[in-house]
């Protein structure tokens, strides 16, 4: 047994060392060029965004077949499923990001990256205007494309509720997580300087989350964990006064989950003392109070010290701008695509994936965006083949060769299947080391809840991390919290 243990430890160390070496030492890449060795044009594929959809495409794409250009204001990929764990320090932000350049450098063909935002797409002339607002590096330029993939994600939806932008924090980006942490810590410190009888102290210690979707639920759960598991040790009296409230307009939270799991989560929230306000629609926010309408039509004021707003997605400006340019784009909810992820009205040169799109049956999740990216990588392999056959046709010697090539084109086109989403299920962390899972395996459905599901949740997210480096860092963060707890500093 000792020998077996030693061999497994050695094998484990060798695997870890090899994986880390591979990640740190990329191989040489095929450089970009105007033409292929046979003289045909190498087309330009521009990818907007560095999120779930775009990075999945980039990772799976044969980048030697195109001049690939990535444009994104964020020079890293963010593993959003663990973002709710970051404001309270369960997971460090650095553990869930992966630089775009590292991802690009691992592919076989050279990839150009611009840290910039696309703001205007011209589908007629196949150009995009991009601008960078980075400090000391602001520029504005036009890029030409043959194929464009729009994977710009979505922005937080406020439904026009007054005061949300001014006073609340969203939970979508790294900067949001940092802002929430700062607000939590400064609220706690300010409250600590006031007398327990001061109503201002109670306000500062009221942490409110609006939106009972998975983002709001997971963050409320993390917040309660932090207060009960860590803050309690360092500030025992004050921690008892902290109130976590989750406000949801509908009669229950987590609408995409099975009813049994919803009830399980709601019961746990009651036990954990998360104040669940169902059928309560927030109407207005000011610097200290949210005003909401309850199911009975009453108006309720809830004072808050920290307010996190998580009520779903709305299209970004660049997507809205693109919608105005194409007659077929008549939905306000997102870019309309066909079953091959082609943008309606863009004649096969623009594709859209992920949260920026709206398509019945495709939800705005990482799972969908990831599978769409994988699909497009295969699509572009076929598109390259068709482009090559078309080029050969323009150089054909006689009519019989043209006919043969035409047949091959038709055959290749028929091989491009529609995108089919394979739903594997949904997972959510609900606090106190418990999670829920609504799994789909083929036709069978499984509902799991509790501490064992939390272990499953952890292993699923570890497996989904983008790189080996991320996996190691996330596992270390969990171990650190288990043995040493979360820290209470900035
Ligand atoms: P994103 O991942 O948002 O990426 C968009 C990219 O576009 C970003 O790189 C952005 O910088 C870039 N961009 C923005 N504007 C421009 C522009 N003008 N030009 C160029 N680039 C631009 N889904 C799950 O399935 N499971 C989960 O557990 C889960 N947890 C989540 C937790 C949180 C806190 C959040 C907020 C979301 C979670 N989601 C989860 C949803 C999931 O993150 C999204 O569905 C997914 O990120 C969508 O991928 P995307 O590529 O469309 O957009
Ligand atoms: P969401 O759209 O899933 O939920 C938003 C909630 O806010 C809704 O329940 C809505 O009724 C409520 N709401 C809206 N306006 C309100 C108001 N004024 N007052 C009170 N409540 C209000 O949004 P979320 O959680 O940001 O998720 C966005 C997407 O990301 C979803 O598709 C979700 O599935 C996905 N996601 C998945 C996760 C997971 O699988 N674990 C985790 C986080 C996000």
Mean pLDDT within 154-171: 98
Task: Choose one of 157, 164, 208, 214 to mutate for the ligand 2 pocket test, by most ligand atoms within 8 angstroms of C-beta.
Answer: 214
Contact at 8 Å (CB) between 68 and 45?
yes
Q: Give per-residue pLDDT as tens, 183-200.
A: 999 999 999 999 999 999
Q: Give per-residue pLDDT as tens, 308-337.
A: 999 999 999 999 999 999 999 999 999 999
Could you tell me the pTM of the whole model? Answer: 0.94
Q: Give per-residue pLDDT as tens, 203-229.
A: 999 999 999 999 999 999 999 999 999
Ligand nearest to the CA of 177: 1
Nearest residue (by CA) to ligand 2, atom 37, is 214
The reported pLDDT for the residue numbered 167 is 98
Ligand nearest to the CA of 309: 2
- Cβ neighbors of 460 (< 8 A, separation 6 or more) are 427
The reported pLDDT for the residue numbered 346 is 95
CATH T-level assignment (fold) for domain 164-311+424-484: FAD/NAD(P)-binding domain (3.50.50)
CATH T-level assignment (fold) for domain 31-73+115-156+314-387: FAD/NAD(P)-binding domain (3.50.50)
Q: Is 86 in the pocket of ligand 1 (CB under 6 A)?
A: no
Residue 386 DSSP SS3: helix
Contact at 8 Å (CB) between 54 and 97?
no
* CA nearest neighbour of 245 among 308, 294, 184: 308
Mean pLDDT within 303-309: 98
Every domain of the chain and the residues it spans: 31-73+115-156+314-387, 164-311+424-484
Strands 281-285 and 139-144 turn out to be unpaired
Rounded to the nearest integer, the mean pLDDT of the chain is 95
Query: Same CATH topology for 31-73+115-156+314-387 and 164-311+424-484?
Result: yes
């Amino acid at each position: 047994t000792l020998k077996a243990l030693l061999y497994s430890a050695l094998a484990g160390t060798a695997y870890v060392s090899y994986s880390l070496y591979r990640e740190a030492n990329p191989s040489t890449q095929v450089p970009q060029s105007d033409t292929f060795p046979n003289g045909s044009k190498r087309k330009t594929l521009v990818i907007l965004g560095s999120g779930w959809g775009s990075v999945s495409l980039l990772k799976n794409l044969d980048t030697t077949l195109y001049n690939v250009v990535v444009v994104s204001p964020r020079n890293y990929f963010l593993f959003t499923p663990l973002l709710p764990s970051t404001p309270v320090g369960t997971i460090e932000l650095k553990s869930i990001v992966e630089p775009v350049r590292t991802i690009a450098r691992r592919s076989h063909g050279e990839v150009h990256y611009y840290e910039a935002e696309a703001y205007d797409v011209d589908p007629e002339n196949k150009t995009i205007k991009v601008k960078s607002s980075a400090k000391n590096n602001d520029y504005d330029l036009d890029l030409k494309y043959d194929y464009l993939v729009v994977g710009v994600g979505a922005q937080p939806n406020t439904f026009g509720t007054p005061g949300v932008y001014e006073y609340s924090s969203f939970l979508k980006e790294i900067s949001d997580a940092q802002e929430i942490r700062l607000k939590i810590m400064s609220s706690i410190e300010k409250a600590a300087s006031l007398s327990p009888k001061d109503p201002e102290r109670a306000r500062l210690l009221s942490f409110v989350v609006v939106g009972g979707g998975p983002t709001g639920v997971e963050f409320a759960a993390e917040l309660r964990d932090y207060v009960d598991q860590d803050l309690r040790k360092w500030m025992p009296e004050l921690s008892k006064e902290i109130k976590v409230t989750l406000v949801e307009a509908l009669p229950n939270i987590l609408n995409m989950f099975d009813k049994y799991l919803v009830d399980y989560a709601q019961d746990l929230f009651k036990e954990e003392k998360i104040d669940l306000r169902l059928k309560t629609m927030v109407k207005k926010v000011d610097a200290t109070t949210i005003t909401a309408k309850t199911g009975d039509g009453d108006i309720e004021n809830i004072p808050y010290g920290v307010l996190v707003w998580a009520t779903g997605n709305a299209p970004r400006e660049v997507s809205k701008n693109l919608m105005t340019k194409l007659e077929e784009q008549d939905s306000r909810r997102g870019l309309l695509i066909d079953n091959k992820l082609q943008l309606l009205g863009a004649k096969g040169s623009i594709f859209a994936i992920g949260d920026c799109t709206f398509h019945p049956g495709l939800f705005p999740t990482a799972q969908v965006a990831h599978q769409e990216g994988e699909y497009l990588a295969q699509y572009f392999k076929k598109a390259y083949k068709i482009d090559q056959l078309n080029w050969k046709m323009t150089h054909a010697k006689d009519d019989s060769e043209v006919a043969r090539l035409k047949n091959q084109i038709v055959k290749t086109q028929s091989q491009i299947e529609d995108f089919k989403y394979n739903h594997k299920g949904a997972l959510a962390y609900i606090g106190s080391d418990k999670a829920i899972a609504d799994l789909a395996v083929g036709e069978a459905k499984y509902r799991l809840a509790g501490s064992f599901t939390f272990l499953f949740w952890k292993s699923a997210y570890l497996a989904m991390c983008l790189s080996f480096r991320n996996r190691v860092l996330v596992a270390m963060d969990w171990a650190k919290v288990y043995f040493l707890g979360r820290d209470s500093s900035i």
